Amino acid sequence: MDLRIGIAQTSQIIELELDVETDRAALRKQIDETLSEDDGVLWIVDRKGKETAVPSSRISFVELSSVDPDRRIGFGA
């Protein structure tokens, strides 16, 4: 699953590739809870184990997309 987080008042976007076994519903709940708090911090762990923290006051948008297992790179039919 891919996660994109827009940072308020900048053109920066944090892009993370999460583990394929990430529970989408639990992640959405975590994001909702963090965004409901003025001083909340969203902690996300990517597929390589790197932890990223983003203050809720700086989040302008969050985009979740599933990773297409058939996505291919390069040429071929």
DSSP 9-33: TSS-EEEEE--TT--HHHHHHHHHH
pLDDT given at position 74? 63
Of 18-22, 49-53, 71-75, minimum mean pLDDT range = 71-75
Residue 11 has pLDDT above 60, yes or no: yes
* Mean pLDDT of the residues in the chain: 89
The three-point CA angle 19-50-16 to 5° equals: 55
pLDDT tier for residue 73 given thresholds of 50, 70 and 90 = low
Mean pLDDT of 21-30: 94
How far is it, in rounded angstroms, from Cα 77 to Cα 38? Answer: 50
Q: Which residues contact 57 (CB under 8 A, 6 or more apart)?
A: 8, 38, 39
The reported pLDDT for the residue numbered 20 is 87
The CA distance from 40 to 37, in Å, is 5
69 has a pLDDT exceeding 90: no
